[in-house]
Amino acid sequence: MSVKLRLILLSFLQFFIWGSWLITIGAYWFQTKQWSGAEFGAIFSTMGIASIFMPSLMGIVADKYVNAEKLYGILHILGGIVLFTVPMVSSPGTMFWVMLLNMIFYMPTLALSIAVSYSVLKSRGGDVVKDYPPIRVWGTVGFIVAMWTVSLLGFEKSANQFYVAAGAAILLGFYSFTLPACPPPSKDTPSRSLIDVLGLKSFALLRDTKMLTFFLFALLLGAALQLTNAYGDTFLHDVSKTVTPFNVESWSQLLSQLATNPSATLSGLAAKYPAIIMSISQISETLFILAIPFFLRRFGIKQVMFFSMIAWVLRFGLFAFGDLESGLWMVILSCIVYGMAFDFFNISGSLFVETQTASSIRASAQGLFMMMTNGFGAVLGSSVSGIVIQQYFTAADGTKDWHGIWLTFALYALVIAVLFVVLFKHKHTTQTTEHELPAEPLLTVEQV
């Protein structure tokens, strides 16, 4: 098996694990367990809490002490064991601590998967800007396959979704030990200061105004990502209550219904399988990931990230006016623009970090990027949105004003976009967007 195929399998399983429960845990929480919304916000904050320290900490370990692929495998095995215990949880309080432990093991693997892929590609003379996006797109495919698997098996509201995720995590953990070695790049580098000893050199990047601005906007965009992860599937389950679900008994029946009453049939299918509707977002990701090299060369990193923010405005705005009946097309269009919203910042952002930092701290720098997006950003998005929704958009009987919720989120994304244009100073050059990375990083810690 070629190196690229092996990395494709890694990327596929990495996001299959997450896709097995991330979008559907809301349905399990509200529909099956019938726990409260405030407690649900706490569950989604676990990934943020874990991401505040674990990606950077594990990045330090991979930079200085342990092969990245081995550390990656150990974390997935431990995370898989924890996921197997989730169906046994009987209270929301215990669920918080179990999911936090799972996130402690899972969140650093997002950055480590990038570090491992980049290391393997470059050790074989590859070009990460050209070669990585087609590999990463299979992670999105894995996320889609997981969502479809859980939905078609009827696990959207079931604890079985966590067994699916656990099995994939343990499989990936053992597979990781077969990958090419990714030794610590700074293992033999003598430390000259306390920062060197602790492996915290990547944090010095925050002293540079441009990098500080970049990481702050990573935090704000990370908050937007958690809004759609936490409430997207729950929103569809709520609006689907007014639609009669369509039960597919045969392909001939489906084709017949589509021919005679396509609108009602599509609405019924959306009500029956809301997670599959949400998976359109990930299908869109596959297309936009492949378009990243072109957009980076043509427009530069600042414009690409700005496009992402405008896409977030559309994502939330279309949800505000969409439903599963006459507004189904808006829900579908919202899922399509999600691909640009997610990829054009998260994937392009990781490439930006890769080209702006020295090789000795790149794993730590990727961890710092994940800490801002999935750490502080996730905590901000989960906690603040939970309070706002509970205080201003939830009626006494528990029903939610989804129109107002999504419009508020759209306004938030619009403010971010305007501030980004004004505050982020970065000149587009071909050096950072051609198919070859610069021989030396554009910004080193010493320059900071």
**Digit-coded pLDDT (tens) for 33-88:** 878 766 777 787 787 788 777 877 887 788 788 898 999 999 999 999 999 999 99
pLDDT range class, residue 436, cuts 50, 70, 90: very low
- What distance in Å separates the CA atoms of residue 432 and residue 412, rounded to the nearest whole number? 30
Helices (H), 300-401: 301-321, 328-356, 362-370, 377-392
Give how far Cα 174 sits from Cα of 10, 74, 104, 179, 338, Å: 11, 8, 19, 10, 32
pLDDT for residue 369: 83
User: Residue 338: which residues within 8 A CB-CB, separation 6 or more?
Assistant: 228, 281, 284, 285, 311, 315
pLDDT for residue 316: 94
3-state secondary structure of 394: strand
Residue 430 has pLDDT above 60, yes or no: no
Q: Return the top range by mean pLDDT from 98-112, 319-333, 431-445.
A: 98-112
Q: How far is CA 199 from the centre of its chain?
A: 26
Q: Is the CB of residue 403 less than 8 Å from the CB of residue 235?
A: no
Between 318 and 41, where is the model more confident?
Answer: 318
pLDDT for residue 248: 65
Between 224 and 420, where is the model more confident?
Answer: 420
Q: Is the CB of residue 228 less than 8 Å from the CB of residue 435?
A: no
Sign of CA dihedral 298, 302, 307, 308: positive
Sign of CA dihedral 126, 128, 134, 137: positive
Residue 101 has pLDDT above 70, yes or no: yes
User: In this structure, which topology does domain 3-183+200-432 adopt according to CATH?
Assistant: Growth Hormone; Chain: A; (1.20.1250)
pLDDT tens track for 128-174: 777 887 888 899 889 889 988 998 888 888 899 999 999 999 999 99
Strand-pairing partners, residue 394, are 400
pLDDT for residue 438: 40
pLDDT for residue 109: 92
Residue 197 has pLDDT above 60, yes or no: no
- What distance in Å separates the CA atoms of residue 225 and residue 222, rounded to the nearest whole number? 5
Residue 434 has pLDDT above 70, yes or no: no
Q: Is the CB of residue 141 less than 8 Å from the CB of residue 280?
A: no
- What distance in Å separates the CA atoms of residue 361 and residue 406, rounded to the nearest whole number? 39
The DSSP secondary-structure symbol of 393 reads: S
- What distance in Å separates the CA atoms of residue 381 and residue 17, rounded to the nearest whole number? 22
**Element at 27 (helix H, strand E):** helix 25-27
Residue 433, phi-psi category: left (phi > 0), alpha (psi -120 to 50), beta (remainder)? alpha
Residue 127, phi-psi category: left (phi > 0), alpha (psi -120 to 50), beta (remainder)? beta
- Going by C-alpha positions, the residue among 272, 426, 288 that lies closest to residue 345 is 288
pLDDT range class, residue 198, cuts 50, 70, 90: very low
- What distance in Å separates the CA atoms of residue 15 and residue 6, rounded to the nearest whole number? 15
Least confident of 82-91, 285-294, 334-343: 285-294
- What distance in Å separates the CA atoms of residue 59 and residue 369, rounded to the nearest whole number? 11
- What distance in Å separates the CA atoms of residue 416 and residue 410, rounded to the nearest whole number? 10
